[in-house]
Amino acid sequence: MQRKITVLKEKYKFIHLTGSIKFLLKGLILYIAWIFLYELFIKPNNWIDPWLTNLVSRQSVMIIRLIGFNTTHKIIATGNVLFNGNIPVLRIAYLCDGLILYVIFLIFLISFPGPIKHKAWFIPVGFIVIYLANLLRVVALVIIQINAPEHLEFNHKYTFTMLVYGFIFLLWIIWVRLFSSKSSQPA
């Protein structure tokens, strides 16, 4: 009888989901759910993106003023515009508010095994780190636009995208190495 069970397990091995497949499947389902939630409820109600974009804009202006620039911001229909004096230097669109960064980070932590008690504090700490990284990204882009506008496009598209996603990846590595239980990690 034992041999028969072993043969059946081997024959239908593909049905048993490994830790990695569970992680990927859970992450994919959560990401698709997020897209539906965002497109059907959050985006049409137009509250979180304007709020988050305005917050990033206001705090970026505060930091840039501390550095010595005469920077202000103005709210427009699709985001905020930052000015140096009377000259517009950077538009922060709703897609640049960092919301998707929080979502990707959250989906990873929900999908990856680990104790809830650690997730309860690690997620907010991760959000703060991601927010600060995005804030510094905006500050750096404004300074680049003021001092070397020819370098803005490259830095916006490549340098800071890699740095911000690098921070998120580093947070994931910290989670996996320090807080995810060894027995429940995906194979």
Measure the CA–CA gap between 31 and 41, rounded to whole angstroms. Answer: 15
Q: Are the C-beta atoms of 139 and 89 separated by less than 8 Å?
A: no
Hey, what amino acid is at 117? K
Pick from 89, 86, 107: which is nearest to 175 by CA? 107
Q: What is the pLDDT along the chain (187 residues), one digit of tens a residue?
A: 666 656 555 655 555 567 788 888 999 999 999 999 999 998 888 889 999 999 999 999 999 999 999 999 998 887 889 999 989 999 998 888 899 999 999 999 999 988 999 999 999 999 999 999 999 999 999 999 999 999 999 999 999 999 999 999 999 999 999 887 654 444 4
Side chain identity, residue 134: N
- pLDDT value, residue 183: 43
Q: What is the pLDDT of residue 187?
A: 41
Residue 9 to residue 15: CA distance in whole angstroms: 9
Q: Return the pLDDT at 63.
A: 96
Residue 89's alpha-carbon distances to 45, 72, 141, in angstroms, are 29, 10, 9
Secondary structure of residue 147 in the 3-state scheme: helix
Confidence (pLDDT) at 126: 96
